[in-house]
């Protein structure tokens, strides 16, 4: 399965009010493994970033002046994302900006190019209800080193989110591995003949039986004499 972790930086918070994408970072996972086939684009937004946005990403208006417009990188981006499962933290924000950029150049929306969009913020809220689930918070919680994240950057944030996503879904790896091993060994395990084995039977000692009986009495007392083994025990025959 091909997955792309995607992040954007923008001139502000509202695509509907004219804010634009200035940076796109993508990290590729193939069968949940990092491939190194990443994509990093800076884009000239044809407008200045808001002051608050500059404090977040630190990408100056001057730096972006000689960068390509979105229209010039759209084919490269869409070819890279084609048919992949896209993973984004707070997906409505990034998808909203990407859709607005595509709309400006008369292209179909993102849903026409990608197989699926997974929102790790939604995942995190389900996994850690009532807790902070920002990217930094998830990095701290899951042991992902984010010491280099002094400012937001699309590629750096995508790389961090890739590690976060892998950690959040690590249980899936165990299930996949277990299923693979079971499928590979099921036939072999059924064909093993154990009839020739002489397995010893180790009986409990008198001391072990006594300790077991004491434990049962304590459990029965703590349950108000309602333990299952007493209820199901056969009545004494006179």
Q: What is the C-alpha separation between 156 and 5, in angstroms, rounded?
A: 11
Please give the pLDDT value at position 215.
81
- Is pTM beyond 0.85 here? no
Helix, strand and coil percent figures for the chain, each rounded to 5: 50, 15, 40
Q: How confident is the model at residue 238 (pLDDT cuts 50, 70, 90)?
A: very low
152 is catalytic: yes
Hey, where are the domains in the chain?
A: 2-175
Residue 143 has pLDDT above 90, yes or no: yes
Its CATH class, for the domain covering 2-175, is alpha beta
pLDDT at residue 115 is higher than 90: yes
Of 86, 74, 68, 79, residue with least CA distance to 28: 86
Lowest mean pLDDT across 2-11, 149-158, 217-226: 217-226
- Mean of pLDDT values over 199-217: 82
pLDDT mean over 87-115: 98
Of 40, 57, 89, 152, the active-site residue reads 152
Residues 6 or more apart in contact with residue 167 via CB below 8 angstroms? 142, 143, 144
DSSP character for 130?
A: T
DSSP letters spanning 23-45:
EEEEEEEETTEE-S--EEEE---
Q: Read off the pLDDT band of 230 (50, 70, 90).
A: low
> Among the listed ranges 6-10, 173-177, 214-218, which one has the minimum average pLDDT value?
173-177
Question: Comparing 8-17, 130-139, 197-206, which segment has the lowest mean pLDDT?
Answer: 197-206
Mean predicted confidence (pLDDT) in 86-95: 98
Average pLDDT in the 84-101 region? Answer: 98
Q: What is the pLDDT of residues 42-81, one digit of tens each?
A: 999 999 999 999 999 999 999 999 999 999 999 999 999 9
Could you tell me the two tokens for 134?
């920002």
Whole-number pLDDT of residue 53: 94
Q: Is the Cβ–Cβ distance between 125 and 133 less than 8 Å?
A: yes
Q: What are phi and psi of 220, to 5 degrees?
A: -65, -40
DSSP classification of residue 111: G
Q: 175: pLDDT confidence band, cut at 50, 70 and 90? A: very low
What tokens does 61 get? 């208006």
On the CB side of 40, CA atoms within 13 Å amount to 10
């Amino acid at each position: 399965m091909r997955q792309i972790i995607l992040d954007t930086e923008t001139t502000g918070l509202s695509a509907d009010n004219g804010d634009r994408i200035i940076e796109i970072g993508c990290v590729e996972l193939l069968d949940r493994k990092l491939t190194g086939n990443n994509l990093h684009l800076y884009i000239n937004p044809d407008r200045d970033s808001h002051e608050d946005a500059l404090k977040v990403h630190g990408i100056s208006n001057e730096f972006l002046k000689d960068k390509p417009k979105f229209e010039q990188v759209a084919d490269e981006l869409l070819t890279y994302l084609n048919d992949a499962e896209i993973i984004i933290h707070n997906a409505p924000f990034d998808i909203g900006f990407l859709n607005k950029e595509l709309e400006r150049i008369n292209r179909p929306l993102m849903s026409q190019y990608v197989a699926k969009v997974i929102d790790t913020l939604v995942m995190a809220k389900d996994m850690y209800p009532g807790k902070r689930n920002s990217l930094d918070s998830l990095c701290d919680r899951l042991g992902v080193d984010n010491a280099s994240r002094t400012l937001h950057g699309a590629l750096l944030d995508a790389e961090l989110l890739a590690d976060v996503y892998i950690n959040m879904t690590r249980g899936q790896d165990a299930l996949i591995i277990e299923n693979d091993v079971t499928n590979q060994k099921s036939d072999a395990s059924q064909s093993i003949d154990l009839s020739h084995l002489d397995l010893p039977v180790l009986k409990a000692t008198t001391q072990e039986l006594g300790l077991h009986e004491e434990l049962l009495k304590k459990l029965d007392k703590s349950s108000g004499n309602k333990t299952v083994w007493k209820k199901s025990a056969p009545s004494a025959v006179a």
